[in-house]
């Protein structure tokens, strides 16, 4: 694990970086939970936003706004006043990387950073050392006018991540549970080990929902939150429809018998089949929780109670989801609202194996909607966290990578393990062997990630996930 820092300073750097999103994502790896990021930069439109002050010619270096000229004219002007080609190339590269306030704030939001403090300066404080100019703050009126303010100010931001830096243990847990999902979706494995399947089905997706409820960000503006949900709903809809159609060719639990618009719409909105029910539940629970949290002015407990009541209504009256699944999502949000670290609620312990074995030996506990099922879920998390501490570094890194990419795995894995099972019959490979299990799991995991990688490289991810780069 890389060394982490409580605060990171990026002073007059961001305007020189072309791939700003990658930089901001990379920085999260070096921030401690709750760490702060200080960023300062001159907006492109400000008098010296093009950094022409670095020119050797004393006249050009003092000319404001010349960087806003068309690129050809700007380059010719610099060349005319004797600037070297290397310096001209540097200034043109800064022009290419230009950054406005509006663009950068949008970028921070996309990268899940929260602006903790923002200060506009008319005269940059460090100009006191460089040019002996007394610092001056920008008048509030001008600072409140978007786009216009870019021509007058220097910006300083103090940010932290809304997600507070990724919690590696949670990525590891997501990796573990997504692997278990793949293993027991392989039909031969599930049929050969039915009791093990019952145990795994008691905790693997409930734990996933628990983590999802804890991590969901309800501090976004409505348009941003709904956009994020829409870009989960779109791939969910595409894959659910294709899976429903595929169920007519392959044996699938609760598959459809005929294809029609009403049947497919019903599967997408009301009764999804296959592993995509998780995304349906997440969207419904997350959206309900967001609007209650945003528009109900009350205590966190009342908001939690109202959200749970609505989900109960959706479950038992409208049959849109299973309330047992909604319970785990709301339990995750309750942990977050209580401002308790997730890991403190599930302390890593090897001793968790003792009550876990006892509970799993009683078939009546193998139900996520029972008290026994809840206890099994919590004990599995505690035991898994203990195991995580003793894993080799390479195994940890692989698990963290998989845990960060569970969405494409969830979306594409059903196609892949169906394909793998079909090929196993073609090549006369026994699907109940451990060798087949390991091979099929690896192919499904990294095949799903490879598909997402191909979508990134083909520039299709913005149309499928709403993101320029998914992996």
Bridge partners of 40, per DSSP, are 11, 156
Sheet bearing 113-123, strands edge to edge: 5-11, 31-41, 154-161, 113-123, 136-137
What was the pLDDT predicted at 34?
65
Bridge partners of 5, per DSSP, are 31
What was the pLDDT predicted at 390?
92
Residue found by looking up tokens 């960023």 in the block: 39
Write the pLDDT tens digit of every residue in 21-64. 888 888 887 877 667 888 888 888 888 888 888 898 888 888 88
Write the pLDDT tens digit of every residue in 264-290. 999 999 989 878 999 999 999 999 999
Domain ranges (residues) in the chain: 5-49+98-161, 218-339
Sequence-ordered strand ranges (E) for 130-258: 136-137, 154-161
- Residue length of the chain: 471
* Best CA proximity match to 284, nearest among 252, 313, 251: 313
What was the pLDDT predicted at 449?
92
**Helices vs strands, H then E, count in the chain:** 21, 5
Q: Which two tokens stand for residue 153?
A: 């100010």
Q: 181-209 burial by CB neighbour count: b if 16+ within 10 A, else e?
A: bbbbbbbbbbeeeeeebbbbbbbbbbbbb
Alpha helices (H) in 296-351, listed in sequence order = 300-316, 323-337, 342-345
Instruction: Supply the DSSP symbol for 146.
Output: T
Are the CB atoms for 209 and 278 separated by under 8 Å?
Answer: yes
Report, in this order, helix, strand and coil percent for the chain, each rounded to 5.
65, 10, 30
Burial label, 283 (beta-carbon count in 10 A; 0-12, 13-18, 19+): middle
Q: Which two tokens stand for residue 67?
A: 């960087």
Q: Which residues are within 8 A (CB) of 212 and not within 5 positions of it... i.e. 6 or more apart?
A: 282, 286, 329, 332
What was the pLDDT predicted at 190?
67
CATH 3.40.640.10 fits 5-49+98-161, yes or no: no
* Cα–Cα distance measured from residue 119 to residue 136, given in angstroms and rounded to the nearest whole number: 11
* Cα–Cα distance measured from residue 15 to residue 90, given in angstroms and rounded to the nearest whole number: 12
Bridge partners of 115, per DSSP, are 159
* Cα–Cα distance measured from residue 91 to residue 83, given in angstroms and rounded to the nearest whole number: 10
* Cα–Cα distance measured from residue 437 to residue 443, given in angstroms and rounded to the nearest whole number: 10
* Cα–Cα distance measured from residue 465 to residue 471, given in angstroms and rounded to the nearest whole number: 11
Q: What does the radius of gyration of the chain's CA atoms come to, in whole angstroms?
A: 27
Average pLDDT, the chain: 85
* Best CA proximity match to 65, nearest among 49, 53, 81: 49
Positive or negative, the Cα torsion across 347, 349, 354, 356?
Answer: positive
Q: What is the largest CA-CA distance in the chain?
A: 86
Euclidean distance between the first and final Cα of the chain, in Å?
A: 20
* Best CA proximity match to 110, nearest among 25, 170, 7: 25
What was the pLDDT predicted at 63?
86
Question: What does pLDDT average to in each consecutive run of 10 residues of the chain (471 residues)?
Answer: 73 87 83 79 84 85 87 90 91 88 81 77 69 71 71 59 64 94 76 88 95 88 90 93 81 74 90 89 96 90 94 93 95 87 90 96 94 96 95 89 92 80 59 72 90 90 83 76
**What pTM value is reported for the model?**
0.66
* Cα–Cα distance measured from residue 172 to residue 384, given in angstroms and rounded to the nearest whole number: 9
What number of other Cβ atoms are within 10 A of residue 389's Cβ?
10
Burial label, 369 (beta-carbon count in 10 A; 0-12, 13-18, 19+): middle
The secondary structure of 251-274 as a DSSP string is --TT--SS--HHHHHHHHHT---G
């Amino acid at each position: 694990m890389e060394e982490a820092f409580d605060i990171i300073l990026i002073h007059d750097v961001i305007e020189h970086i072309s791939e700003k999103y990658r930089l901001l994502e990379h920085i999260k790896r070096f921030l401690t939970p709750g760490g702060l990021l200080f960023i300062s930069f001159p907006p492109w439109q400000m008098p010296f936003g093009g950094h022409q002050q670095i020119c050797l010619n004393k006249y050009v270096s003092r000319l404001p706004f010349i960087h806003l000229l068309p690129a050809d004219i700007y380059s010719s002007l610099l060349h005319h006043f004797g600037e070297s080609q290397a310096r001209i190339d540097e200034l043109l590269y800064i022009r290419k990387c230009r950054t406005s306030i509006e663009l950068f704030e949008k970028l921070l939001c996309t990268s899940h950073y929260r602006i903790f403090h923002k200060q506009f300066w008319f005269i940059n404080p460090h100009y006191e050392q460089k040019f002996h100019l007394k610092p001056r703050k920008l008048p509030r009126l001008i600072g409140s006018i978007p786009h216009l303010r870019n021509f007058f100010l220097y910006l300083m931001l103090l940010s932290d991540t809304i997600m507070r830096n990724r919690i590696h243990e949670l990525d590891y847990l997501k990796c573990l549970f997504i692997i278990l999902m793949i293993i027991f979706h392989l039909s031969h494995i599930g049929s050969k080990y039915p009791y093990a399947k019952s145990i795994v089905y008691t905790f693997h997706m409930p734990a996933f929902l628990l983590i999802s409820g804890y991590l969901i960000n309800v501090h976004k503006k409505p348009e941003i939150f709904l956009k994020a949900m829409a870009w989960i709903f779109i791939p969910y809809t595409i894959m659910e429809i294709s899976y429903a159609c595929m169920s007519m060719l392959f044996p699938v639990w609760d598959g459809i018998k005929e294809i029609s618009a009403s049947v497919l719409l019903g599967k997408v909105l009301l009764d999804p089949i296959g592993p995509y029910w998780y995304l349906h539940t997440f969207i419904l629970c997350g959206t309900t929780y967001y609007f209650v949290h945003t528009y109900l002015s009350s205590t966190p407990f009342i908001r939690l109670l109202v959200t749970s009541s609505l989900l109960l209504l959706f479950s038992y009256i409208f049959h849109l989801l299973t309330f047992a699944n909604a319970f785990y999502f709301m339990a995750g949000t309750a942990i977050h609202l209580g401002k308790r670290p997730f890991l403190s609620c599930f302390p890593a312990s090897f001793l968790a194996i003792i009550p876990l074995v006892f509970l799993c030996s009683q078939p009546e506990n193998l139900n996520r909607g029972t008290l026994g099922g809840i206890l099994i879920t919590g004990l599995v998390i505690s035991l898994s966290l203990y195991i995580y501490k003793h894993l080799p570094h390479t195994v940890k890194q692989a698990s963290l990578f998989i845990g960060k990419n569970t969405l494409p795995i969830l979306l594409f894995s059903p196609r892949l393990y169906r394909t793998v099972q079909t090929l196993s019959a073609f090549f006369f490979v026994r699907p109940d062997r451990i060798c087949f299990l390991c091979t099929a799991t690896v192919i499904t995991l990294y095949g799903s990630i490879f598909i997402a990688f191909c979508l990134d490289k083909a520039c299709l991810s913005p149309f499928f996930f709403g993101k320029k780069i998914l992996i």
